A and B are shown apart, each in its own frame.
Chain A
Amino acid sequence: KAGVTQTPRYLIKTRGQQVTLSCSPISGHRSVSWYQQTPGQGLQFLFEYFSETQRNKGNFPGRFSGRQFSNSRSEMNVSTLELGDSALYLCASSLGTGLSETQYFGPGTRLLVL
């Protein structure tokens, strides 16, 4: 079974631009979560989607948004990019949202904002 895929893998943008990242979950998985990883802040939760509904949102500004499609694929968008948005963005999928559900991560998208 194919793992979680994320595109693009690397991205360079300039301040003020917007970016869209894509995540395809493991087949059959309906829950997708997004995390931001930076050297300073570590791993921080962005959002969680299940069956096209946002179930949970982390403490990020409104410039960060996401959505999930009927095939469980998910996208996240960052508008008006800032230098501090440079990070590794990780997507994770799981069958459901239960406590013991293991989240399986993709390889991440490395975003550099200049």
Chain B
Amino acid sequence: AQKITQTQPGMFVQEKEAVTLDCTYDTSDPSYGLFWYKQPSSGEMIFLIYQGSYDQQNATEGRYSLNFQKARKSANLVISASQLGDSAMYFCAMRVPTGSARQLTFGSGTQLTVLP
């Protein structure tokens, strides 16, 4: 079975500083995709970044980058130059190509608060 673990229920960061949100995953499938989503208090899940298990390079999207360490089974999200608008819940999710696990499996999330 697939599992995503986010061990930081809450994080605080000063505006303009960088922050790392942790995510570890567990799967026996060699092929998988890792996603990060942001959920503001309004409820909508906003896609941030994707990393495939066979991707050689760490994914980057603007201020977001993914620190992918395959051997450690970790996929940490790095947000550079935090902004007040980054305050939200952040979810790490995984998808594998086989059977019932083709849907996204989500972690429990990390509530990020950016301080002015």
User: What residues make up the interface of B, taking CB atoms closer than 8 Å to A?
Assistant: 31-33, 35, 37, 42-47, 50, 52, 91, 95-97, 100, 102-109
Contacts and interface: CB of A to CB of B under 8 A. Distances in A.
Contact of A99 (B33, B91, B100): B33
Given A99-B102, A102-B35, A110-B43, 10 more contacts: A33-B103, A43-B104, A48-B103, A97-B102, A98-B97, A99-B31, A105-B37, A105-B44, A105-B45, A105-B46
B43 A42 contact: no
Contacts of A43: 91, 104, 106
24 contacts: A33-B104, A42-B108, A43-B91, A43-B106, A45-B105, A48-B102, A48-B103, A55-B102, A88-B43, A90-B43, A92-B104, A97-B102, A98-B97, A99-B32, A99-B33, A99-B97, A99-B102, A102-B35, A102-B50, A103-B47, A103-B104, A105-B37, A105-B47, A107-B44
A56 interface: yes
B103 A58 contact: yes
A60 B85 CA distance: 35
B50 to A, nearest CB: 6
Nearest to B100: A56
Main SS at interface, chain A? strand
A46 to B, nearest CB: 9
Interface string A13-42: 000000000000000000001010000001
Interface in A31-89: 33, 35, 42-43, 45, 48, 55-58, 88
A104 B47 contact: yes
A107 B43 contact: yes
B42 to A, nearest CB: 7
Contacts of B31: 99
A103 B104 CA distance: 9
A103 B107 CA distance: 16
A97 B37 CA distance: 18
Nearest to B95: A99
Contacts of B32: 99
B96 to A, nearest CB: 7
Contacts of A100: 33, 50, 52
